[in-house]
Amino acid sequence: MITIIPAIDLIDAKCVRLSQGDYNQKTVYNENPLEVAKMFEDAGITRLHLVDLDGAKAKHIVNHKVLELIASKTKLVIDFGGGLKSDEDLRVAFESGAQMVTGGSIAVKDRDTFLHWIETYGSEKIILGADAKDKMIAVSGWQEVSELSILDFIESYTSKGIRQVISTDIARDGMLTGPSIDLYKEIMSQFPELGLIASGGIATMKDIYELDEMGIPGVITGKAIYEGRISMEEIKLYNLNNL
């Protein structure tokens, strides 16, 4: 059974979504992220992907108070990302209630620090963010495309103990055009034991069922929920049927 992981993206402590990571294409869906998190919990959701978009821009953690609030008022297992660049950022994230953190740009630009985090906290707490455009890793809020292929990038960290990877096909993120099936098939073929979490493009429950049939362990969805294309009732039913 695939784990459905809703996303809450934060700007100014509000629940927003961007299209293809573009800060100029921002929609505010709810001014109360805790309310949204509780709605997810009521539908049987157990895990939350919380992204600090202000932090991604500022290059340090910003919305830790929202993290703390959701962590203290729900039982959701929260993985937190966005702008985590230093040991201090990680300390604040974990002390604020994150059970896991996601590092993407840092894993490209400061490999030593990211490896230090894996060593210090263990691979169950550190998730690799592998966001790609045309199968090449993109960083810095997707503003820069590197010369690293996604498969080589994942390989370089699974060999160092990484077990969970969130992979977003940037071209599909927030576009509701369906997930990047071919990309995920390629990743799972090369790394069959990987805890891969697919992200980007999810439009309906059909997309989630397709990923489930492929054996993908987790899927992140945001816009499809906020736009009403996937209802809380559908998620609730899915979770009840797979208890």
Please, what is the Cα angle at 119 between 218 and 80, to 5 degrees? 40
pLDDT of 190-219, one tens digit each? 999 999 999 999 999 999 999 999 999 999
> Rounded to whole angstroms, what are the CA distances from 193 to 81, 115, 165, 170, 189?
23, 20, 11, 24, 9
pLDDT at 141: 54
Give the residue among 240, 169, 183, 228 at the shortest CA–CA distance from 203: 228
Say what the pTM is: 0.94
**Structure confidence by residue, pLDDT tens digits, 82-141:** 989 999 999 999 999 999 999 988 999 999 999 999 999 999 999 999 999 889 998 765
Supply the pLDDT for residue 174: 66
* Mean pLDDT for all residues in the chain: 93
| Ordered domains of the chain (ranges, CATH) | 3-241 (3.20.20.70)
Which of residues 241 and 51 earns the better pLDDT score?
51
* Neighbour-count burial for 147-161, b at 16+ CB within 10 Å, e otherwise: ebebbebbeebbeee
Mean pLDDT over residues 73-77, rounded? 98
pLDDT in tens, 182-195: 999 999 999 999 99
Question: Which positions are annotated as active-site residues?
Answer: 9, 131
What are 128-156's pLDDT values in tens digits?
999 998 899 987 655 667 789 999 999 99
Those residues whose C-beta lies under 8 Å from the C-beta of residue 91, and which sit 6 or more positions away, are none
- Token pair for 124: 């169950």
* Residue 173 scores a pLDDT above 80: no
User: What sign does the CA torsion over 83, 3, 205, 183 have?
Assistant: positive
* pLDDT at 2 > cutoff 90: yes
